[in-house]
Amino acid sequence: MEEKKGKDISAEIKVPGHGPIKVYGNFEVFCDGKKLAIDGDSVEFCGCGQSKDMPFCDGTHKRVTRE
């Protein structure tokens, strides 16, 4: 992962029991070594593993049965 220069990294992460993992603040996201573009200062990551827009949440968890 690349080191941040000039911008402090700070974030709040909320992990619910079911649904997306929500991240707020100053952060960068890397997937498979590539930096992903993030619009704004928050993002929701898939928590159910069924999103068609991985690693981001697309709302699929609302239709997936909890086990």
In this predicted model, what pLDDT tens digit does every residue of 3-36 receive, in sequence order? Answer: 556 667 789 999 987 789 999 998 889 989 999 9
pTM score: 0.73
Least confident of 21-25, 35-39, 60-64: 60-64
Higher pLDDT, 8 or 57: 57
Cα separation, 58 vs 51, in Å, equals: 6
Cβ-Cβ contacts under 8 Å for 53 (sequence gap 6 or more): 46
Give me the helices (H) in 22-63, please.
none
